[in-house]
């Protein structure tokens, strides 16, 4: 069998071409727009199918530069940490803390459902984590990161399966949030749209990092250099801690240390030195890194490895969808107060509990465009979905893997 190897330069070129293809597809196909399918995923899946066809017909394998992909992954998770401002916790107050607790509990539920069903279907229970919070709460970026570590631990096809599950979650998260919230809203008072001037921002609105990847941002050479210095500090921290923690209780995947480094760097600079963080630059670098990482991960998919997993995993994902709807209805909604804001928050939880934060925001926008504003939901969901859930998910997944190893 012939293997075509792409060095770092050609891997980067291929990834950029995938992103350009994805951008064109999303512009042209309404379905991709309606369900907020990311451009790297749209272009990457098409590229993966093409490479699968070439492999099937010609027997050719494609090998892309792995260290480059890993570097962009670490930059992306560093950007999440650098965007996690503890000062924003005070803005959200008690409702934010309650929502974080509800979301954290659901991550545990999601992983229990996934691992129990995987074991019952005769699969490796770690497959249940891939069809659990790794991909559904975590999204494509987390799927690629954990997939890499799981494949190294012997779970064949974890990255490929993760990308498929994450894409399923994006679609179902967009489909589920609206119906769940509309059922909860039925017969209850709503703010309405009277007197709202869409040309003026609501009081307390803030720029949501990662939610507006196409928004124009003014970045100077100085701010870009300062941001790169912070990323370098995060990468150095992750490299040191990953090596130091090997064989200890604190042994974690390197991307978790990159995320933790970002949290420490950002909040240390803000709280100790009073630095005014330039979130726009962090946002841009993070989005670029995520896009390139996903493009490279999807180029490296081996779709033929999924043949034996497709049917049992679909059973798990169907169950996860039902569990999400029930949890949002009977736990998230009630925990957040059982009012209109709680219904919008439940729709948002469906969005990032199965898909991603942009899906959550799209769900909430569809509701507020019809029934009226929910400033509480738009303050809480982006903070939890884009920042805190990744930290909580990483810690809970590490614990879940230790439990599975202990039980096995």
Residues 6+ apart with CB under 8 A from 206: 379
Q: Is the pLDDT of residue 303 over 60?
A: yes
Q: What does the pLDDT average to over 187-199? A: 62
Tokens linked to 282: 């962090």
What pLDDT score does 105 carry?
97
What pLDDT score does 408 carry?
72
Q: Directed axis angle between helix 139-152 and helix 66-82, to 10°?
A: 130
Instruction: Please tell me which residue, 35 or 70, carries the higher pLDDT value.
Output: 70
Look at strands 2-5 and 60-63 and give their pairing.
Answer: parallel
Distance CA 19, CA 17 (A): 5
What pLDDT score does 202 carry?
39
pLDDT band of residue 213 (cuts 50, 70, 90) is very low
Number of structural domains the chain divides into: 1
pLDDT, one tens digit per residue, over 321-343 is 999 999 999 999 999 999 999 99
Instruction: Please tell me which residue, 21 or 247, carries the higher pLDDT value.
Output: 21
| 317 part of a folded domain | yes
Instruction: Please tell me which residue, 205 or 345, carries the higher pLDDT value.
Output: 345
| 209 part of a folded domain | no
> Chain-wide mean pLDDT for the chain?
85
Residues 6+ apart with CB under 8 A from 160: 147, 301, 302, 303, 305, 306
Q: What does the pLDDT average to over 360-368? A: 80
| 208 part of a folded domain | no
Q: Is the pLDDT of residue 220 over 60?
A: yes
Distance CA 142, CA 147 (A): 8
Q: Within a 10 A sphere around the Cβ of 181, how many other Cβ atoms?
A: 28
Measured CA angle at 84 (ends 78, 88), to 5 deg: 170
pLDDT band of residue 204 (cuts 50, 70, 90) is very low
Q: Is the pLDDT of residue 14 over 90?
A: yes
Distance CA 361, CA 393 (A): 20
Tokens linked to 207: 């720029």
pLDDT band of residue 359 (cuts 50, 70, 90) is confident
| 165 part of a folded domain | yes
| 265 part of a folded domain | yes
Q: Mapped to the 3 state alphabet, what secondary structure does 43-102 carry?
A: HHHHHHHHHHHHHHHHCEEEECCHHHHHHHHHHHHHHHHHCCCCHHHHHHHHHHHHHHHH
pLDDT over 70 percentage in the chain? 89
Q: Is the pLDDT of residue 245 over 70?
A: yes
| 140 part of a folded domain | yes
Structural domain including 266 reads: 2-191+218-407
Q: Is the pLDDT of residue 7 over 90?
A: yes
> How much helix, strand and coil, in percent to the nearest 5, is found in the chain?
75, 0, 25
| 7 part of a folded domain | yes
Q: Is the pLDDT of residue 212 over 80?
A: no
Bridge partners of 62? Answer: 4
What pLDDT score does 201 carry?
40
Q: What does the pLDDT average to over 16-34? A: 89
Read out DSSP for 285-316? HHHHHHHHHHHHHHHT--GGGGTTTHHHHHHH
Read out DSSP for 245-298? TTTSTT---HHHHHHHHHHHHHHHHHHHH-----HHHHHHHHHHHHHHHHHHHH
pLDDT band of residue 194 (cuts 50, 70, 90) is low
Q: Of the ranges 158-162, 200-204, 311-315, 316-320, which one carries the lowest mean pLDDT score?
A: 200-204
Distance CA 131, CA 309 (A): 11
Q: Is the pLDDT of residue 92 over 80?
A: no
Q: Is the pLDDT of residue 238 over 80?
A: yes
Region of 52 please: left (phi>0), alpha (psi -120 to 50) or beta: alpha
Instruction: Tell the residue number behind the tokens 């994902």, with chain if given.
Output: 317
For residues 265 and 233, is the Cβ–Cβ distance under 8 A?
A: yes
| 121 part of a folded domain | yes
pLDDT band of residue 315 (cuts 50, 70, 90) is very high
What pLDDT score does 255 carry?
80
pLDDT band of residue 208 (cuts 50, 70, 90) is very low
For residues 142 and 337, is the Cβ–Cβ distance under 8 A?
A: no
Phi, psi dihedral angles at 211 (to 5 degrees): -85, -20
3-state secondary structure of 326: helix
Q: Is the pLDDT of residue 211 over 50?
A: no
pLDDT, one tens digit per residue, over 250-293 is 777 788 899 889 989 999 998 888 888 888 888 889 889 988 98
pLDDT, one tens digit per residue, over 116-157 is 999 999 999 999 999 999 999 988 888 988 998 899 888 888
């Amino acid at each position: 069998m012939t293997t075509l190897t792409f060095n770092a330069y050609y891997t980067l070129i291929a990834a950029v071409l995938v992103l350009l293809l994805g951008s064109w597809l999303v512009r042209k196909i309404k379905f991709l727009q309606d369900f907020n399918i990311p451009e790297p995923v749209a272009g990457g899946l098409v590229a993966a199918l093409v490479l699968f066809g070439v492999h099937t017909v010609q027997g050719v394998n494609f090998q892309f530069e792995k260290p480059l992909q890993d570097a962009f992954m670490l930059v992306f998770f560093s950007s999440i940490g650098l965007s996690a401002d503890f000062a924003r916790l005070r803005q959200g107050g008690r409702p934010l803390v309650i929502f974080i607790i509800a979301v954290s509990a659901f991550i545990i539920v999601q992983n229990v459902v996934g691992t129990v069903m995987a074991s019952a279907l005769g699969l490796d229970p770690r497959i249940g984590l891939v069809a659990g919070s790794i991909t559904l709460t975590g999204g494509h970026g987390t799927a690629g990161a954990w997939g890499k570590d799981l494949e190294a631990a012997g779970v064949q096809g974890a990255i490929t399966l993760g990308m498929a599950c994450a894409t399923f979650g994006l679609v179902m998260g967009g489909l589920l949030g609206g119906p769940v919230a509309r059922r909860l809203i039925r017969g209850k008072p709503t703010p309405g749209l009277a007197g709202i001037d869409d040309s003026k921002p609501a009081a307390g609105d803030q720029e949501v990092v990662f939610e507006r990847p196409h928004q124009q941002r003014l970045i100077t050479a100085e701010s870009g250099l300062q941001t790169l210095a912070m990323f370098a500090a995060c990468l150095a921290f992750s490299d040191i801690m990953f090596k130091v923690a090997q064989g200890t209780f604190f042994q974690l995947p390197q991307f978790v240390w990159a995320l933790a480094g970002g949290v420490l760097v950002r909040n240390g600079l803000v709280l100790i030195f009073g630095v005014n963080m330039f979130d726009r630059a962090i946002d841009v670098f993070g989005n670029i890194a995520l896009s390139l990482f996903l493009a490279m991960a999807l180029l490296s998919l081996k779709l033929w490895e999924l043949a034996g997993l497709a049917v049992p995993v679909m059973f798990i994902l169907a169950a996860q969808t039902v569990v999400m709807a029930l949890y949002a209805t009977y736990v998230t909604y009630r925990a957040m107060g059982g009012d209109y804001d709680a219904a919008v928050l439940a729709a948002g939880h469906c969005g990032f509990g199965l898909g991603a934060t942009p899906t959550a925001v799209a769900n909430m926008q569809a509701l507020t465009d019809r029934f009226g504003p929910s400033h509480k939901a738009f303050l809480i969901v982006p903070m939890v979905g884009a920042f805190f859930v990744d930290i909580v998910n990483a810690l809970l997944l590490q614990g879940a893997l230790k439990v599975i190893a202990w039980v096995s």
